[in-house]
Amino acid sequence: MLVSATEMLQKAKAGHYAVGQFNINNLEWTKSILLTAQECNSPVILGVSEGAGKYMAGYKTVVGMVNGMIEELNITVPVALHLDHGSYDGCLKCVEAGFSSIMFDGSHYPIEENVAKTTELVKIAHDHGMSLEAEVGAIGGEEDGVIGKGECADPDECKRIADLGIDFLAAGIGNIHGVYPDNWEGLSFETLDAIQQKTGDMPLVLHGGTGIPDDMIKKAISLGVAKINVNTECQIVFAEATREYIEAGKDKQGKGFDPRKLLKPGAEAIMAKVKEKMELFGSVGKA
């Protein structure tokens, strides 16, 4: 059964660990992440971008697949199904489809409009027993066509959005989506600390978890980050494992072209990566 992400993230913040949000792109992704969460006895958040939702034939299809897998694979750890970087309309569609959590990304709106839309969505989400994540300060890089510069959020704006009754807050602290460039200046812990001071017990979210050095991840968790999003890293290891299989000519041996065989190394690579991240974030055994 899907749960909202509120309780798991409040526990994570209080316990000084973080829960991973691993974005799903298809059946293999979803199955790999769920099995790893169960094996690690860790809570988990399945992230779905609007583009991935469309690719998987719509939000209702995603909900059906995830609920079916939780039942058939006997997954007993807490699982939240979360819309990642949702538009206003996307959020409403996910409420209707049966997601358990949504993120409204109003960071590209003027603060007044962001406040108004967030306020409305908080009420709708909570009326449906769902959690809501909001964002202040664009996260750098590109996520499904939304391009952000990697700016640092204004701590006062963070407090204003946090006070609207949201459940967790994504704030830009110099992080970016995708692979970090060589000239990246690192996370601004000064900004993170200031945001934490203003928002108190609010669990904070770190987007763009791929490629941030482990020591920075651990420091971010110590400063109140309770949710860390990972997507690019899983995509890279999946592609590498699939390429190795094909370059080794295994698809030409026997029935090696069977998609169940062809996609297996990639699925196993995702499992290994997710386990590595859960260990780093400290969520193993916390279900």
- Ramachandran angles phi, psi of 209, nearest 5°: -70, -15
23: left (phi over 0), alpha (psi -120 to 50) or beta: beta
Instruction: Extract the tokens encoding 17.
Output: 């660990």
Separation of alpha carbons 206 and 66, rounded Å = 24
**Which residues contact residue 147 at a Cβ distance below 8 angstroms, ignoring those fewer than 6 apart?**
141
210 is in an annotated binding site: yes
Long-range contacts made by residues 111-115, C-beta under 8 angstroms, separation at least 24?
111/157, 111/160, 114/161, 115/160, 115/161, 115/164
105 is in an annotated binding site: yes
Measured CA angle at 212 (ends 141, 45), to 5 deg? 80
Nearest Cα neighbor of 168 from 131, 143, 140, 200 is 131
68 is in an annotated binding site: no
85 is in an annotated binding site: yes
208 is in an annotated binding site: yes
DSSP state of 251: G
Strands (E) in 99-221, as ranges, are 101-104, 131-136, 141-143, 146-148, 168-171, 204-206
Q: Report the DSSP beta bridge partners of residue 134.
A: 104, 169
Q: For residue 143, how many C-alpha atoms fall within 13 Å in the half-sphere facing its CB? A: 26
Q: Is 84 a catalytic residue?
A: yes
135 is in an annotated binding site: yes
230 is in an annotated binding site: yes
Residue tagged active-site, from 84, 156, 214, 251: 84
Active site residues: 84
Residues of the binding site for dihydroxyacetone phosphate: 178, 208-210, 229-232
Which residue ranges make up the annotated binding site for Zn(2+)?
Answer: 85, 105, 135, 177, 207
